[in-house]
Structure 1
Amino acid sequence: MAGVPVGVHWSVLVIGVLIGMSLGGVIMPEAFPGQPTALYVLMATLTVVLFLGSLLAHELAHAVVAQRRGLPVRSITLWLFGGMAELEGEARTPRHELETAAAGPLTSLAFAVASFLVAVALPGPELLVVGLTWLAYMNVLLAVFNMLPGAPLDGGRVLHAVVWWKTKSRARADQIASTSGQVLGVALIVAGVGQIFFFGSSGGFWTMIIGWFLAGAARSERVASAAREGLGGVLVRHVMTSPPEVAPSWATVEDFVATTALHSRQAVFVVVDFEGRPVGYVSLDWMAALPYGARATTRVSTLARPVPPENVVAPDEEASVLFTKRALPGQVIALVSDEGRAVGIVTTADLTRAMRQAMLRQPV
């Protein structure tokens, strides 16, 4: 949608079933008792589908605004706690970040108003009116919750944009938004405990889980921010594995294993052609998964996977550019190329090491 791949995590099925059971088994029967069970199930299912559609609309709003502001969107994923639009890189200005962050909650509010107006205008059936009213209430709740001022919520992004605009410092905004997110997460955990012990509400467990997730995500963002700051001035050549041991595309897996793989400290290898140009990469895992008897007749090129152009970087680029790259199968972050020659490779292990070193330069 909007040129963005949309994925659905299996946890969406779980939350969909739970919401459907609540609507069809409790909320709708209490509002209008005596209806056929099949009708409750049908209306509950329709409401759940509309609700998931509203979550998708929320994330699509983020994606569309981000794209219009020149920020590519990798994907949208719906999961247990709603949805997530994965952006490539960061907003260029505070205004762009503010507009992108606010688009989601505003869409949820628009969805709520539309649902409420339709519910009011419809003469029936009654269960559909109940479903639409519930949908309106949930989208208001979604918008309000997402606007709480703490990373990684939309409200945390808005807070980040405002602080960035006021202080002219992205690093300061990172610190304040992530700290606010951690405080908010802890507050929700405490609130969940209070719900359980003082009110006997099982909903407190959900509040605690959400709080735990927010606190952890905010902490991770703070660590990543500190790492990015610490990597200031560090180049890709300082992070990459170099010179990389390469795998000739024409060699058999058996020969390459005997001559190189068994004696190397690398877990992945750049695959090169006769002229030494990179044509892909191969991992120890893929070679190990090949049946032993097939290694003598299978060429390395058969197992090699291509490196997308967006995962090819130059050695003198800022190392911070690596944070914008999606990890490839085999835990490869980037192929480092200089004038068409492979001069290095960056794996998740390389980037993790660089991040830890960067954190030594920057307080977390």
Structure 2
Amino acid sequence: MRQTLRFGRVAGIPVGAHWSALGIVALVVVALGSGVLATAAPGAGRTAYWVAGVVIGLLLMASLLAHELAHALTAKRCGMEVESVTLWALGGVTEFRDEARTPAGEVATAAAGPAASLLLSGLAFAVAAVLPPGVPRAAAAWLAMMNLILGVFNLLPGSPLDGGRVLHGLLWSRYGDRARADAGAARSGYGIGLALTFAGFMVIWVWSPLGGMWLVITGWYIAGAARSEILSRTARRGLGGVSVRDVMTATPDLAPAWLTVQGLVDTVVLGSHQSVFPVVGFDGAPLGVVSLESLLAVPAERRADTRVEALVMGQKPPRVLSPDDDAAALLERPSRTGGLRAVVVEGGLVTGMITDADLGRTLQQALLRPAAPV
């Protein structure tokens, strides 16, 4: 998930927030400042309610960040590489470069987030208990309750929730079969998502339209994410035994970084059937990627004096794979600009590329193959 705001790095991990997280903070501030705190602690001035609302809104974001950082730091201790931590509307996302190496590592990483939320909940309840009746006490109690809900909700045993990852680790440990654990955790998550969606519609009908809609959105997201995980695992099985060499487009047209945009268009693009082009430096190493859309975004009057390298400044280099790597690795990360999944490098030079279309074609072919006799 792309970060709209970047907060910096913690233990080398990029930390930031998607714009939707700011919307949730704004909703929390408005809800607390305009009604919730006035109901819980009547008699204080409007300024006190709104100031407390802003403080608690920021502390809630900090709580979500602590939840995700607990995942990330535990994962690092378990030998996993962490890509980033991003807050968004439904909480946070910790992106990993690889999967847990052991069931114990997966359980520890998954459980760390809810444990952090429950710990923060206990601390906030303790603060509320020692404060006299009033706005600060009501605000602390509200924050404690939100962290309690966050911790308990995330322990529900179904992917993509933390409890689903815990369940996955336990099933993996019990059966010694990661694929079987994948299927069990994803099916459980799909069922939980549908149940929450149904419960949300019931809440809308008999009690609170706003609260019910939130349940519907959350349940729908969980069910959709679990279904995507099921499809991803099916795709992974379909790519079993397939190498990157079998998927890639060989000897693709490349975009030399030193050319101008107009030079690239004239010498490469207009004679190519590709819609995306890996950008390479003088040494042949991949630096980034440009698509037809990104080239069209350069004004015509600037194409003659804009170099291709300027279009990829700030980009992360594309993912690099070897021709003999397992093609299932292509499913571990989303595609980049123009649907590029990876470039294939052999002997220090780009010898192939893989796009979403290449991967989709290979998966469809795998589904068309007759099943092996049992």
What amino acid is the match of 2:358? D
Deviations 1:238-279 (A, max 9, x none): 111112123345555434423431232211223456676655
Q: Secondary structure at the match of 2:13?
A: coil
- SS of the residue corresponding to residue 5 of structure 1 reads strand
Q: Shift in Å at residue 14 of structure 1?
A: 1.9
| Structure 1 residues 111 and 362: CA distance shift in structure 2, 3 A | farther
Whether the 8 Å CA contact 1:226–1:358 is kept in 2: the answer is: no
Q: Report the Cα distance in structure 1 between the residues aligned to 2:312 and 2:16, rounded to whole angstroms.
A: 26
What displacement does 1:350 show? 2.5
User: Which residue matches 1:313?
Assistant: 321
Kindly indicate whether the alpha-carbon contact (under 8 Å) linking 2:318 and 2:336 is maintained by their aligned counterparts in 1. no
Determine the C-alpha separation between the residues in 2 that align with 1:214 and 1:227.
20
> Of 153, 156, 165, which aligns to 1:148?
156
Q: TM-score, normalised by structure 2?
A: 0.88
Q: Is 1:340 aligned with 2:338?
A: no
Of residues 238, 246, 253, the one that matches 1:238 is: 246
* CA distance in 2 between partners of 1:334 and 1:102 (Å): 32
Q: Does 1:349 pair with 2:357?
A: yes
Task: Verify: 1:14 aligned to 2:4, yes or no.
Answer: no
Distance 1:271 1:293 in 2: 22
**Alpha-carbon distance, 1:144 to partner:** 0.9
| Alpha-carbon distance in 1 for matches of 2:230, 2:269 | 38
Q: Which runs of 5+ in 2 are unaligned?
A: 1-9
Which residue in 2 is equivalent to 1:79?
A: 88
Matches within 5 A, 1:320-339: 320-325=328-333, 327-339=335-347
Matched, 1:218 2:226: yes
CA shift for structure 1 position 300: 4.3
- Tell me the residue number matched to 1:103: 112
Is the aligned partner of 1:289 residue 2:297? Answer: yes
State the 1:357 CA deviation: 4.2
- Secondary structure of 1:56's counterpart equals helix
C-alpha separation between the residues in 2 aligned to 1:321 and 1:49?
38
**Could you give the per-residue CA deviations for residues 297-334 of structure 1, whole angstroms, max 9, x where no partner exists?**
55545545698567221111111222334543343222
One-letter code aligned to 1:63:
A
1:34 aligns with: 43
Q: 2:165 aligns with which of 140, 144, 157?
A: 157
Greater relative contact order (CA < 8 Å, ≥ 6 in sequence):
1
Counterpart amino acid of residue 195 in structure 1:
V
Q: Deviations over 1:2-44 (max 9, x none)?
A: 2211121121222112222222222211222121110111111
Measure the CA separation in 2 of the matches of 1:271 and 1:37: 57
Residues 13 and 84 of structure 2 are in contact (CA less than 8 Å); yes or no, is this contact kept in structure 1?
A: yes
Note the alpha carbon deviations across 1:43-73, whole angstroms, 9 max, x for none. 1111111111111100000000001111111
Greater alpha carbon shift after TM alignment, 254-263 vs 188-197:
254-263
Letter aligned with residue 110 of structure 1: L
Question: 1:129: Cα distance to partner?
Answer: 1.1
Kindly provide the amino acid, as one letter, of the partner of residue 99 in structure 2: E
Per the alignment, in what secondary structure is the counterpart of residue 278 of structure 2? strand
Paired AA for residue 152 in structure 1: P
Q: 1:302 to 1:48 in 2, by over 3 A?
A: closer
Q: Kindly state the Cα deviation for residue 119 of structure 1 after the two structures are TM-superposed.
A: 1.6
**Match among 130, 135, 140 for residue 138 of structure 2:** 130
* RMSD (Å), alpha carbons: 2.5
1:209-244 deviation line (CA, Å, top 9, x unaligned): 111111101001111111112111111111111121
Separation in 2, partners of 1:86, 1:323: 14
> How far apart, in 2, do the equivalents of 1:210 and 1:174 lie?
21
- Taking the aligned partners of 1:245 and 1:260, their CA distance within structure 2 comes to 7
Q: After the TM superposition, which residues 49-88 of structure 1 pair with which residues of structure 2 at under 5 Å, given as runs?
A: 49-88=58-97
